[in-house]
Amino acid sequence: MKTRKKRLRTGKFLNLSVEFVRLMHLFYHGDHYNQARTVIFKEVKTRKHAMAATITNVKVQYLSPNVFGSSLGQIIYTPKESEREPTLQSDSFKFYGGIALMNIKNVFELGICTFNQRELETDQLEQHALTQELLFAIDGDFIMPVAPIIQKSGESWPDLDHLVAIRVRMGEGVVFNDGIWHWAPFPLKKSSSVIVGFEKDTADKDLVIRDLDSRIVMEQ
């Protein structure tokens, strides 16, 4: 809530409608919360669309080491027998160990997040500066933008010159390196669930979101 207040006070969204200002007041004073929240974010989103005048088009590519290299993270998939021998196997199973490694300093948290289908575009990216993050496609493919880190005035920002858009197939996953920029998965059907793993309480304590000057449009 504090972040939202700070943004609204910066003057980015001047000349707001009277209805917007009224509902913003209600929002911060606890009355008609849902109604106010809907109108506020609709108007903010509209104005952000206008502000992000430039477009960054990026072609969606299937997940592979050529697209998602070690500087971004690790790929999780079931190896073909021609690629490597199982770590352990019997008549009833084959186990491939060491597909990805995560160096988590404290308690490791696993969750499941269900994402809704939407337009393949965003003018924001997020990062978790202090932890790796696991995303694994449970019940359908998803697309997401990924960008390495670039420093601007001593702060971490996404390097849009090296942005990629990856398509992760159902039954595949990625492990992002610490601080790699990305956005929430875009499912290719009405909704899709993803296993999410990172250091405990990351969602509350280690989440940075950057508003971009350019709007990312992912093209299939």
Domain boundaries, the chain: 1-51, 52-219
Locate the DSSP E strands across the chain.
54-62, 73-76, 88-89, 94-95, 108-116, 121-127, 133-137, 142-147, 149-152, 155-158, 164-168, 173-176, 181-182, 186-187, 191-199, 208-219
Does 60 or 38 have the greater pLDDT score?
A: 60
Q: How far is Cα 134 from Cα 29, in angstroms, rounded to an integer?
A: 37
The whole-model pTM stands at 0.76
Q: How far is Cα 204 from Cα 187, in angstroms, rounded to an integer?
A: 24
Q: How far is Cα 209 from Cα 158, in angstroms, rounded to an integer?
A: 10
5 contact partners, CB below 8 Å, separation of at least 6 = 28
**pLDDT at 6 (0 to 100):** 34
In CATH terms, the fold of domain 52-219 is Jelly Rolls (2.60.120)
46-60, 129-143, 192-206: which range is least confident on average?
46-60
pLDDT at 28 over 90: no
Whole-number mean pLDDT of the chain? Answer: 85
DSSP 154: T
Q: What average pLDDT does this structure show over 142-164? A: 96
